[in-house]
Amino acid sequence: MKPTDIRNPEYFHKVIDCQYACPSHTPVPEYLRLIAEGRYADAYMINWHSNVFPGVLGRICDRPCEPACRRGRVDREPVAICRLKRVAADFKDAVKARMPQIPKEKNGKRVALIGGGPASLTVARDLMPLGYQVDLYDEQSAVGGFMRSQVPSFRLPLEVLDEEIDYILDMGVNTFLNCRITSLKEFLQKGYDAVFIGTGAPRGRDLPTLKGRQEGDDHIHVGIEWLAAVAYGHIDTIGATTLVIGGGNTAMDCCRMARRLGGKDVRVVIRGSRAKMNASPWEIEDALKEDIPIIEGLSPLEFVVRDGRLIGMHFAKGGDQENPVFIACDEVLLAVGQQNAFTWIEKELGLKLKNHWLPVIDEATLQSTLPQVFFGGDAALGPKNVITAVALGHQAAISIDLYCRGLDLKVRPAPGITLSSQKMGVHDWIYDSQVTDDARQRVPTVETVKSIQDRMLEVELGFDKKSGRTEAQRCLNCDVQTVFSFADCIECDACADICPTSCINFINNGEEEDLRSRLAMPAKNTSQDLYVSDVLKTGRVMVKDENVCLHCGLCAERCPTAAWEMVKCFYDCAKAGQ
Amino acid sequence: MTFTRPKFRHPDLPPNALGYTRRDYEGALSTLCAGCGHDSISNAIIQACYELPVEPHRVVKMSGIGCSSKTPAYFLGKSHGFNSVHGRMPAIATGANMANRDLLYLGVSGDGDTASIGLGQFTHVVRRNLNMVYIVMNNGCYGLTKGQDSATADRGSTSKKGTPNPFESIDLCELALQIGAGFVARGFSGDKSQLVPLLKAAMSCRGFSLVDVISPCVTFNNTSASTKSYQYVRDHAEATGTVDLVPPRQEIVTDYQDGATQEVTLHDGSVIFLHKEEGSRSITDRRAAIDALESHRAENRILTGILYCMDDGGDTHEMIKTTLQPLNSILQEDLCPGNAALQQLMEGYR
């Protein structure tokens, strides 16, 4: 193999598993260290720059970072990154003064945002400090989109959401609420320099052709719309026996909300098996804790209506339509997916749609076939999650800024990289290199009896400062990189000997597959890179398998010639205007 | 400074034939200088014990005083150990071996502990061919007292102090060959691919097994003019051959038809295979081994690998005809059978 080019910013970025897995590439280890030091506001701001909604995401993020966490590969469970984000939000002091200054003098460019969800708000956050005039349109009476209408309050309290939305609106965003855009053609006549569409994936899928759907309509609801109705106070009760159809996170929200609105016997019915459910494992766990059974392998056949009232449903078990299974119920919530709908986009505008719910866009720039129109969030790529919406918002803001300045959208700004040596003394590091043995801390929750009675009561209480610190210190500091200088190495083997996880090898070079098989511990995880040095004096090369490196710094501590160095790599994903 | 090693290990760490992983053979975190050759040797010992495999509770670590003698703290943390007086480890090891002949004795010593203060002890334990492995971590200087030249420093070799050593050096391998060691080998801390099989062979042989390991002192004796520096040893080392040890009861799968391979079958049925150049000396010939050492010395070459192997030439227990049962397990009534037995014995003389 050729020597690894560590000057490529993506090499170290990939070593920081959590940050690499995060759609908006939040510098996780950096803010976890700040939490461990009790610097909550600093930790919050690092988050805020990257993911815009730390308090919200600290509760409801899909956390792609946690399955990626290196700790999960050496310990029983990964670091509770998501809930630590909440610690930063919960314990920070005032941060408003740290927010960027908004220029009084505008740059003369006007940008419209259609839909007030996380993607649009991110675009606003990124463009306001650059001097743009930003107008936000939403059909609801309050901004927040999915986060407000479809995430129940027992998971995300309103005040947390309002606080973080207000940070953005207070920058001077012009909001046009209760304002549904019915024609893009008419809208474009307002003469905006760029239009961003972040209308989300608001329409839940129905089962319109299933027998009994019309007759039982009063007691059959599309889950996501039902959740919105609950959030806005239009619905406050539900039948004692409720079936929730579907196995995604929306289904989990529906069933838990149904329990809070008086549902005594709430059951979830899924087509496939538990193991293949789309819902996140922790969401499933929370539902099970609230005595909600999940029934596997049943496909809906018919809504059974007697005397004009829904009395239950028939299901086919394992495709057997001849002997349907009957489950009695008073009410059904359908959570079988979401769809976009762009009925308000006229065909003759030249904005091409891929199908009736997704536009044709350039996935890198998010530009549609109509140059001044950009998409983001679920409206761009279909139903994802809040953190992806934020990531797409950042990219759209970059594109809009480049577009308004007449620059090439394909030339994206490079990420910011800051490398800083962690050496403080002969054997001392600036970062806390000690690897703790603590198990993952449990987040305390409100008693189920209490929380079931009040839908506004947040179930999770969050970590306190002490458990937050303990959990933050479980982080392995994967951003503190092991940097090897082959010219200084005397091949004494000290690093290879001390490495707790046997990552470091001094062997003859070869092709990647061959090298992987010849290491002291064969490198079977091919998603993780090998760090290969230039040729050493004995003709061998140093090969380090990045897979389970603990970033403990012992290689550098035991190196007599400082050929190993611990260098912190702060990777800052580019934002608009950089 | 880190004082404890993280407890996490590679998740795929494989167990050996006894069900132990390599972790079960580790010890505490080393406090020696960063880059010390001794740490490499400690790791080679861990690897050899793991691979062989030996049961950790069947091993006794014996040492004297010095940087090298500190190392038993850094390997085999679950084995027995005794850190004795300077240069007196052979006497303690002999005592322990007499009490319980069934354990594996690993003596760890340095060039000072062996060739200076302990030379008298060393020569006598060799002549008795005590069943033990004696590892010398040989760095040619007294590292613990700021790097003075030791008795194994080659004449003319210059340490960090800057003055060439005026005295002749003691070659411990040659000395051991002259006075009856059963197994003699020389290794280099910077070459584990050779050192691990050497240690495994040494642990498998019965009798006195000397492994003299050149182990550069990075702090005081790793200069360009030192003959015990990483660079010098790499440039001047020459191996007698590559070593394979096939443990007993393991099928010999490789077919060593090559005429240059020498096999030595040990008392327990394991076999040492030495793959060497055509026409090179036999490792069961003591005089040839001494010749080889001398001729390499004359050419400023360092001969490494197995130099001599005479398994089961009769260890101390056989020489002094002790009982096969470990003395520590013989009961009081067997050792002292009482007046009746004495009277019976006396009767025989009447």
Name the residue type at position B283. Answer: I
Position B233 scores a pLDDT of 95
**In chain B, what residues touch A501 (CB-CB under 8 Å)?**
8-10
Position B258 scores a pLDDT of 53
**Rounded CA gap, B208 and A464, in Å?**
62
HEC-encoded secondary structure of A346-374: CHHHCCCECCCCCECECCCCCEECCCCEE
In chain B, whose CA is at the least distance from the CA of A548? B10
**Rounded CA gap, B178 and B208, in Å?**
13
The alpha-carbon gap from A31 to the nearest alpha carbon of chain B, in Å, equals 22
Q: What is the mean pLDDT of residues B154-176?
A: 95
Peptide bond into A413 cis (omega under 30): no
**Rounded CA gap, A26 and A125, in Å?**
16
Residues B43, A493: C-beta atoms closer than 8 Å? yes
Q: Is the ipTM of this complex over 0.85?
A: yes
- Picking from A75, A521, A558, the nearest residue to B12 by CB comes out as A521
- Tell me what the pLDDT averaged over chain A comes to: 93
Kindly state whether A524 is in contact with chain B, defined as any CB-CB distance less than 8 angstroms: yes
**In chain A, what residues touch B2 (CB-CB under 8 Å)?**
427, 433-434, 552-554, 557
Q: Look at residue A470 and tell me if it is in a domain.
A: no
Kindly state whether B222 is in contact with chain A, defined as any CB-CB distance less than 8 angstroms: yes
**In chain B, what residues touch A434 (CB-CB under 8 Å)?**
2, 4, 6
Q: Is the pLDDT of residue A467 over 90?
A: yes
- Pairing state between β A309-317 and B208-214: unpaired
Q: Is the pLDDT of residue A58 over 70?
A: yes
Residues A559, B13: C-beta atoms closer than 8 Å? no
- Picking from B10, B30, B42, the nearest residue to A548 by CB comes out as B10
Q: Look at residue A382 and tell me if it is in a domain.
A: yes
Q: How many CB atoms lie within 10 A of CB A314?
A: 18
- Picking from B2, B12, B40, the nearest residue to A434 by CB comes out as B2
Position B249 scores a pLDDT of 66
**In chain A, what residues touch B6 (CB-CB under 8 Å)?**
434-435, 500, 550, 552, 554
Residue ranges per domain, chain B? 22-319
- Picking from A433, A498, A521, the nearest residue to B10 by CB comes out as A521
Assign A233 a pLDDT band (cuts: 50, 70, 90): confident
Regarding whether A311 and A212 lie in a shared domain, the answer is: yes
- Picking from A434, A521, A559, the nearest residue to B34 by CB comes out as A559
Tens-place pLDDT, residues A259-297: 999 999 999 999 999 998 989 899 999 999 999 999 999
Which of A308, A339, A370 is the last residue in one of the domains?
A339
- Picking from B1, B34, B42, the nearest residue to A428 by CB comes out as B1
Regarding whether A309 and A256 lie in a shared domain, the answer is: yes
- Picking from B17, B45, B18, the residue whose alpha carbon sits closest to that of residue B189 is B45
The H or E element that residue A204 is part of is strand A203-204
Which residues 6+ apart lie within 8 Å of A573 measured at CB? A24, A25, A50, A394, A415
Q: Look at residue A93 and tell me if it is in a domain.
A: no
Regarding whether A210 and A335 lie in a shared domain, the answer is: yes
In three-state secondary structure terms, B39 is helix
Highest mean pLDDT among A321-325, A343-347, B175-179: B175-179
**In chain B, what residues touch A427 (CB-CB under 8 Å)?**
1-2, 34
As for how many domains chain A has, the answer is: 2
Residues B39, A558: C-beta atoms closer than 8 Å? yes
Q: Is the pLDDT of residue B259 over 60?
A: no
**In chain B, what residues touch A522 (CB-CB under 8 Å)?**
12
Q: Is the pLDDT of residue B239 over 90?
A: no
Residue A344 has which token pair?
A: 């308000």
Q: How many CB atoms lie within 10 A of CB A24?
A: 23
- Picking from B170, B127, B142, B177, the residue whose alpha carbon sits closest to that of residue B64 is B142
Extended beta strands in chain B, E state: 59-63, 80-83, 104-110, 132-138, 141-142, 148-149, 183-188, 208-214, 237-239, 242-246, 261-265, 271-275, 302-309
Kindly state whether B230 is in contact with chain A, defined as any CB-CB distance less than 8 angstroms: yes
Regarding whether A187 and A267 lie in a shared domain, the answer is: no
Q: Do residues A247 and A277 touch, judged by C-beta distance below 8 A?
A: yes
Percent of all residues in chain A with a pLDDT value above 90, rounded to a whole number? 81
Tens-place pLDDT, residues B3-13: 789 999 999 99
Q: Is the pLDDT of residue A439 over 70?
A: yes
Q: Do residues A211 and A126 touch, judged by C-beta distance below 8 A?
A: no
Regarding whether A385 and A278 lie in a shared domain, the answer is: no
Percent of all residues in chain A with a pLDDT value above 70, rounded to a whole number? 98
Assign A228 a pLDDT band (cuts: 50, 70, 90): confident
Position A172 scores a pLDDT of 96
Q: Is the pLDDT of residue B261 over 80?
A: no
Q: What is the mean pLDDT of residues A294-310?
A: 92
Regarding whether A218 and A122 lie in a shared domain, the answer is: no
Q: Is the pLDDT of residue B250 over 80?
A: no
Percent of all residues in chain B with a pLDDT value above 90, rounded to a whole number? 80
Q: What is the mean pLDDT of residues B132-143?
A: 97
Residue B48 has which token pair?
A: 């050899």
Cβ contacts from A onto B, under 8 A: 99
CA angle, residues A505, A511, A516, in degrees to nearest 5: 45
Name the residue type at position A451. Answer: S
The alpha-carbon gap from A559 to the nearest alpha carbon of chain B, in Å, equals 5
Residue A530 has which token pair?
A: 């090998």
Which of A339, A364, A387 is the last residue in one of the domains?
A339
Residues A559, B42: C-beta atoms closer than 8 Å? no
Regarding whether A259 and A210 lie in a shared domain, the answer is: yes
**Rounded CA gap, B36 and B34, in Å?**
6
In chain B, whose CA is at the least distance from the CA of A438? B7
- Picking from B6, B13, B190, the nearest residue to A492 by CB comes out as B190
Spell out the alpha helix ranges (H) of chain B: 37-51, 67-70, 89-99, 111-115, 119-127, 172-178, 192-204, 230-236, 286-298, 316-319, 332-335, 339-349
Regarding whether A191 and A112 lie in a shared domain, the answer is: yes
**Rounded CA gap, A171 and A129, in Å?**
8
The alpha-carbon gap from A83 to the nearest alpha carbon of chain B, in Å, equals 24
> Which class would CATH give B22-319?
alpha beta
Q: Look at residue A21 and tell me if it is in a domain.
A: no
Assign B244 a pLDDT band (cuts: 50, 70, 90): confident
Q: Is the pLDDT of residue B225 over 80?
A: yes
Q: Give the residue carrying structure tokens 């998971």.
A: A155
Q: Is the pLDDT of residue A216 over 70?
A: yes
Position B242 scores a pLDDT of 83
Assign A205 a pLDDT band (cuts: 50, 70, 90): confident
Regarding whether A239 and A168 lie in a shared domain, the answer is: no
- For A:536-575, CB contacts with B below 8 A are 537-538, 548, 550, 552-554, 557-561
Position B275 scores a pLDDT of 80
**Rounded CA gap, A83 and A557, in Å?**
33
Number of H helices, E strands in chain A: 22, 21
Q: How many CB atoms lie within 10 A of CB A307?
A: 5
Assign A517 a pLDDT band (cuts: 50, 70, 90): very high
Q: What is the mean pLDDT of residues B131-137?
A: 98
Q: How many CB atoms lie within 10 A of CB B99?
A: 12
- Tell me what the pLDDT averaged over chain B comes to: 92
Which of A404, A427, A459 is the last residue in one of the domains?
A404
Q: Look at residue A477 and tell me if it is in a domain.
A: no
Q: Look at residue A346 and tell me if it is in a domain.
A: yes
User: Is the pTM for the entire model greater than 0.90?
Assistant: no
Residue B52 has which token pair?
A: 């062989």
The enclosing domain of A307 has a CATH number of 3.50.50.60
Position B335 scores a pLDDT of 86
Residues A494, B39: C-beta atoms closer than 8 Å? yes
Kindly state whether A408 is in contact with chain B, defined as any CB-CB distance less than 8 angstroms: no
Residue A457 has which token pair?
A: 């009561």
- Picking from A485, A476, A475, the residue whose alpha carbon sits closest to that of residue A6 is A485
Domain residues for the domain of A254 are 206-339
Kindly state whether B23 is in contact with chain A, defined as any CB-CB distance less than 8 angstroms: no
**Rounded CA gap, A376 and A24, in Å?**
13
- Picking from A437, A550, A560, the nearest residue to B34 by CB comes out as A560
Regarding whether A328 and A242 lie in a shared domain, the answer is: yes
Q: Do residues A224 and A204 touch, judged by C-beta distance below 8 A?
A: yes
Side-chain-side CA neighbours of A328 within 13 Å: the count stands at 3
Regarding whether A274 and A315 lie in a shared domain, the answer is: yes
Position B256 scores a pLDDT of 53
Regarding whether A350 and A276 lie in a shared domain, the answer is: no
**Rounded CA gap, B9 and A378, in Å?**
41
List the single best residue of A437, A493, A505 to mutate versus B (max B Cβ within 10 A): A493
Tens-place pLDDT, residues B276-310: 766 677 888 999 999 999 999 999 999 999 999 98
Assign A316 a pLDDT band (cuts: 50, 70, 90): very high
Tens-place pLDDT, residues A334-372: 998 866 568 889 989 999 988 766 899 999 999 999 999
The alpha-carbon gap from A280 to the nearest alpha carbon of chain B, in Å, equals 25
Extended beta strands in A284-402, E state: 294-295, 298-306, 309-317, 320-328, 331-334, 338-339, 373-375
Residue B329 has which token pair?
A: 């397990």
